[in-house]
Structure formats: C-alpha cells, structure tokens
Amino acid sequence: MGQGTGLGLYVSYQIVVEKHGGRIECQSEPGIGTQMTIHLPWRSPATAPERVGELNAVASS
C-alpha cells in the first residue's frame, strides 16, 4: 500500500468540520481496510437562519 503524508485528512477536516460544521467518522480493521464517512449538515452554521442576522450586521458595519 502507498504511504501518504496525512495532509488529505487534514484538509478534509478543515473543509468538513471547520467550514461546514460536519463531522468525519473513521472505521478501520487491520488487514481489511478503512472506511471514512463524512456527515454534512443541510446548512452550514454560517448560513443558518440565526446566523444570517449576525452576518448581515457585520457586513453592513
């Protein structure tokens, strides 16, 4: 198997968790493989209705 730097998971974490408020699950079994599952909310926290007012206030100031 190829060896990576782990940078892909770091970038994925930034996008999925930090930018969109989602989560990443990892299931791994030696000799069998690894399964990564990405969960994304229907809306990112930054565009949720309760945050839109905050964003508009910041944008207009």
User: What type of residue sits at position 25?
Assistant: E
pLDDT of residue 2: 63
The mean pLDDT of the chain is: 78
Q: Which band of pLDDT confidence, cut at 50, 70 and 90, is reported for residue 56?
A: low
Q: What is the pLDDT of residues 22-48, one digit of tens each?
A: 999 999 999 999 999 999 887 656 666
pTM of the model as a whole: 0.57
Question: Rounded to an integer, what distance in angstroms lies between the CA atom of residue 19 and that of residue 7?
Answer: 17
By the 10 Å C-beta count (0-12 exposed, 13-18 middle, 19+ buried), 13 is classed as middle
Question: Rounded to an integer, what distance in angstroms lies between the CA atom of residue 13 and that of residue 34?
Answer: 17
- What are the φ and ψ backbone dihedral angles of 23, each rounded to 5 degrees? -150, 160
Listed by start position, the domains of the chain span: 7-60
Angle at CA of residue 27, ends 21 and 31, nearest 5°: 150
